[in-house]
């Protein structure tokens, strides 16, 4: 026996109906709203894991350190860089009065990398060099308008309609 919880995601293009199937059949054990929020939170955590494992470190790459102490240090370094980038995203989102989930982690990481290596183009730069493989540093409003893909970035408990089921 399963229970189906349906809820709308109004901030996606045209809204979207999500059907969540669970083995928690008793509404007293978990309300539909609680299940919908838990599903959303699960995808937030999946996105964070993906940012750390695939985007920040790079796909298929393993930790370079060989000793346990250095592995510990390298993991902390990744966590701190991830935190710093997300702090930048939250700061930019607050300034633009938008949801931080609407700012792409990958795009922000690329901007940080170009800035840290001195390869970022100034905001008032003229024509783009044809040899450059990445686009010039975008203006803040351009970077914040791009919506990140996936279910983790489209639904928030404050914007969703009341789930049913």
Average pLDDT of 75-92?
A: 94
HSE at residue 127, side-chain half, CA atoms within 13 A, is 3
What is the widest separation between alpha-carbon atoms in the chain?
63
Residue 122 or residue 111, greater confidence: 111
Asked whether residue 164 is assigned to any structural domain, the reply reads: no
Question: What's the CA gap between 90 and 128, in Å, rounded?
Answer: 29
Q: What is the mean pLDDT of residues 107-117?
A: 90
Whether residue 133 is contained in a domain is answered as yes
Number of domains in the chain: 1
Residue 161 lies in a domain: no
Global pTM reads: 0.58
Let me know if residue 60 belongs to a domain. yes
- Residue 7: inside a domain: yes
Task: Please indicate, yes or no, if residue 163 is contained in any of the structural domains.
Answer: no
Q: What angle do CA 23, 13, 112 make, to 5 degrees?
A: 95
Question: How many angstroms separate the CA atoms of 90 and 53, rounded?
Answer: 21
The answer to the question of residue 160 being in a domain is no
158 falls within a domain: no
- Boundaries of domain holding 115: 3-153
Range of lowest pLDDT (6-10, 21-25, 69-73, 95-99): 6-10
Span 16-41, average pLDDT = 89
């Amino acid at each position: 026996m399963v229970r189906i919880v349906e809820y709308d995601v109004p901030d996606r293009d045209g809204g979207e109906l999500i059907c969540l199937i669970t083995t928690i059949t008793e509404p007293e054990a978990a309300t539909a709203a609680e299940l919908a929020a838990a599903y959303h939170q699960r995808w937030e955590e999946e996105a964070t894991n993906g940012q750390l494992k695939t985007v920040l470190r790079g796909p298929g790459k393993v930790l370079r350190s060989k000793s346990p102490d250095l592995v510990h240090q390298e993991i902390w370094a990744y966590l701190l860089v991830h935190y710093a980038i997300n702090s930048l995203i939250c700061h930019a989102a607050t300034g633009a009065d938008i949801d931080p989930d609407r700012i792409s982690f990958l795009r922000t990481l690329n901007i940080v990398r170009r800035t840290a290596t001195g390869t970022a183009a100034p905001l008032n730069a003229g024509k783009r060099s044809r040899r450059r493989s990445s686009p010039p540093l975008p203006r803040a409003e351009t970077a914040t308008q791009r919506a990140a893909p996936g279910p983790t970035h489209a639904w928030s408990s404050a914007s969703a309609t009341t789930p049913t089921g």
